[in-house]
Structure 1
Amino acid sequence: MKKLFAIAIAGVLMTSCVSNKKFAELEDQYNTTKEELKTAEMKLSACEDEKKSIRESYESQIKTLQNTNAALLNTTGEMVTISKTAATNLERSLESMQEKDLQIKTMRDAINKKDSVTLALVTSLKGALNNIDDEDIQISVEKGVVFVSISDKLLFGSGQYKVTNEAKAVLAKVAKVVNDKKDFEFMVEGHTDTDPISRTNIEDNWDLSTKRATAVVRILQNEYNVDPARMTAAGRGEYVPVASNDTAAGKAKNRRTRIVVLPKLDQFFGMIEEGMKTAK
């Protein structure tokens, strides 16, 4: 994904169609949230390991005490009581296990909530676009990020960056969904095949892909009232293909506009942080 952003930023710098500052902020946000997610996952793993270690220690102590009790009963016939120190240690072990269980539950609840929000978004998008041919528009989820890929034959004419009237109907449906989901930001990416472009008003495929992304963003903003602060336009050129450019079918798949829906992960980690405070 880092490579994806690096290429996106390079595209923007070459075409000057997207704010350098906006891309830098987006990359910083993504890198930060990715590191935070990695840290949270490491903490969750550590909690699981610590819980297992405490449980094993607790079971070992119980077994030792049981053996001691049996030996004393065999030799003296008297009931043995657990010493005050042993009882205190057992109590602390149980309290520690309960605390770790609560912390793990808090992390799982936060992850489940984020996944539920993402699932709701995907369901809404598929419901809004259920009458669109799968070859023209595809919706997928990768690592909690939702991708909406729209073929250029639906959005634009060959070598053009003016959005067609047919495509506006599709963008209207997408806009309705994202306007209802305020917890998401998104990036509109333009992609091309490897065929060189030769038009007086388009310098190269970098230029074409960025112009197409910007055209979609303008439609969403000006005609469907999507908040521009939630959007970023990016040109990826021919450098992130999804199929081989050696065939006409492969090139058709590569000529696409992709809407990358980004969850506000600061809210997700904020929920984990609040849960941890409660667990202490």
Structure 2
Amino acid sequence: MKKRTLFSALAIGCLVLSGCASKKDLENCQNENRQLTSEYQSAKETIAANNARIKSLEDQLAQAKASAAALQGSLDRSLNNADKNNVNISKLVDQINESNQYIRHLVEVKTKSDSLNMVLTNNLTRSLSREELKEVDVQVLKGVVYISLADNMLYKSGSYEVNERAEQTLSKIAKIIMDYRDYDVLIEGNTDNVPINTANEKMRNIRNNWDLSALRATSVALYLQEHFGVDPKRLTAGGRGEWNPLAGNDTELGKQRNRRTQIIITPKLDQFMDLIDKAPEE
């Protein structure tokens, strides 16, 4: 009887130890699963951004190839009358060659621009904390980098003055702007469609949302200049009021999305003019 009791106790102890080990393994698996899920989501977002940039480049290449094919078709038709049009054919061949050179140059410039924008975006995104990423959206659209910041993280309540909370985030954006000196910066203010509160003393001299959006954009431009030494010649500040909404103003969430300030980083205009100067003459 004693032996049977001892055996039962040992069996129960083994089951308890086994249950503890299984619970710990389960917790480890759950933690590993959450980490893998997070890494998978991050990878999906990176792939989606890269696919968008590839699609844009493919569209430009398709247009360039279509132009080259049209010129090639003109050449083929001209060859049928070679005896009468030798001079024109020679000129057309030169145009095709110049067009092909321009296509290659355009692809090189586009590839370089996309690469720089990808590096710029990645550097900025990595420098932002998880909390900042909840209120800062970074996108690349048609070769231009858009940094959208929520108003409640930038400005004092009921004001267009930049608050202390925004300093850390703006310092990271300023570093990117300073690192990429060949890019211009447009700061664009946006609001919802709710009229401003003129009873607020700070808002008494502001006429409407358009005024408010322009003042907020100017405040950010001055902050970047005075606190971080960004060259004001590179900065342009403007307001779009309620006229450039991201969502409908019929919900609080939509209004919140529309109340934003965008910092738009774009290659300098003279770079595009240089590119146009290199285009072949018709």
Pairwise TM-score range, normalised by the shorter structure:
0.5 to 0.7
Q: Which residue of 2 aligns with 1:244?
A: 248
Q: Which amino acid aligns with 1:124?
A: N
Conservation of the 8 A alpha-carbon contact between 1:205 and 1:238 = yes
**Structure 2 Cα separation of the partners of residues 95 and 217 of structure 1:** 48
Mapping of residues 72-221 of structure 1, within 5 Å: 100-198=99-197, 199-202=200-203, 203=206, 204-221=208-225
Q: Which amino acid aligns with 1:50?
A: L
How many equivalent pairs are there?
Answer: 212
**Structure 2 Cα separation of the partners of residues 101 and 167 of structure 1:** 48
Q: Give how far 1:176 is off.
A: 0.4
**Structure 2 Cα separation of the partners of residues 120 and 143 of structure 1:** 15
Question: With structure 2 as the length reference, what TM-score do the two structures score?
Answer: 0.63
Q: Give how far 1:97 is off.
A: 5.8
Please list every run of 5 or more consecutive structure 1 residues that lacks an aligned counterpart in the other structure.
1-40, 62-84
Conservation of the 8 A alpha-carbon contact between 2:189 and 2:213 = yes
Q: Which residue of 2 aligns with 1:233?
A: 237
Conservation of the 8 A alpha-carbon contact between 1:185 and 1:261 = yes
Question: With structure 1 as the length reference, what TM-score do the two structures score?
Answer: 0.64
Conservation of the 8 A alpha-carbon contact between 1:44 and 1:107 = no
Q: Which amino acid aligns with 2:100?
A: D
Q: Give how far 1:102 is off.
A: 2.9
Q: Which amino acid aligns with 2:212?
A: L
Q: Which amino acid aligns with 1:201?
A: K
Q: Which residue of 1 aligns with 2:263?
A: 259
Aligned partner (choices 258, 269, 274) of residue 270 of structure 1: 274
**Structure 2 Cα separation of the partners of residues 114 and 101 of structure 1:** 20
Q: Which residue of 2 aligns with 1:29?
A: none
**Structure 2 Cα separation of the partners of residues 131 and 173 of structure 1:** 14
The yes-or-no answer on 1:47 pairing with 2:68 is: yes
Conservation of the 8 A alpha-carbon contact between 2:158 and 2:202 = no
Conservation of the 8 A alpha-carbon contact between 2:186 and 2:263 = yes
**Structure 2 Cα separation of the partners of residues 268 and 130 of structure 1:** 34
Conservation of the 8 A alpha-carbon contact between 2:98 and 2:280 = no
Identity, in percent, stands at 36
Conservation of the 8 A alpha-carbon contact between 2:102 and 2:278 = no
Q: Which amino acid aligns with 1:49?
A: A
Distance 1:250 1:95, change over 3 A: closer
Conservation of the 8 A alpha-carbon contact between 2:155 and 2:161 = yes
Q: Highest relative contact order (Cα 8 Å, sep 6+), 1 or 2? A: 1
